[in-house]
Structure 1
Amino acid sequence: MIDLDDTDRAILRALLADGGLSAKAVGEATGLSQPAAWRRIRRLEEAGVITGRHITVNADALGYGVSVFLGIKLAGRGRASLADFERAVTAIPEVQLVQHVLGLYDYRLKVVARDIADFERILRRRIMTLPGVGDVESNVLLSSETRPLPI
């Protein structure tokens, strides 16, 4: 873990608001020169605090109007069944998130689909046929709000 000062936190807040900012723009937003901002950004990257910069794509604009969270309980147990499931599920493009979790289910997935009929097709033909799938629970996303980490 790295110790962050107020300037580091300001840099992170600026980059969380807009990951495409240049070092010059980050410097202007935080009161640093471009070289000083660049050095600090680089240090945060090297320490693993910043692991990448991403764009956000509107799924609705691309025709994916339905998001569904699935709880998956595997029928079989063991390292081989986990690896087989993970390898197969990550090959499905509509599966946007795969989380191995503790609790009632073994995995939590986020699946995007064009509509409910498309989701049903993905569920029946792709997810239910994956190796080791036992119980499945679906939760259709009605709305969401993404919040940045408190820095």
Structure 2
Amino acid sequence: MKYSCFMTGPENTSDPASYRLHDRLGFRVSRLAAVMRASLDAELSQLGLTRLEWCVLASIALEGITAPSGIAENIGITRPTASRTFKQMRDKGWLVQNLTEGDGRARAITLTEAGQDLLARARVLVDAHQARFLDKLDPQAAAHFLSALDTLLEGVHDRFDDP
């Protein structure tokens, strides 16, 4: 017996009238993601920053991840996408890539002063953006929602080029 998302009874798969696109989990999650992505893109663009660049800044400065492969893994992007993004950000003067001590091949990425300043300004926008959505829920509902998202994402390790 199949159960439709957000519905209490079994889904009648033979009755086309029982299907409502707007009741589907995938549609709802995709719609929320698209709305959040578009509004955050607009806000970050005021600083000349993309979401992907924000994710790199946050991974380095807020999560302490400095290895290029670790940053790519954290964000969920491919290594070539990460390399292009690091180059663009180096060209803008936001980060530097240095050899790590003890291993002449390993690299560590750190933020420049300009990158740290940009991070601080962007963090205000990103935090306010998240609050505009989560503040619609009471704290317990927000915690349950985020926990449910974690459960749905469990075991998913896909990489994608548009975080």
Same fold (TM over 0.5): no
Larger helix proportion, structure 1 or 2? 2
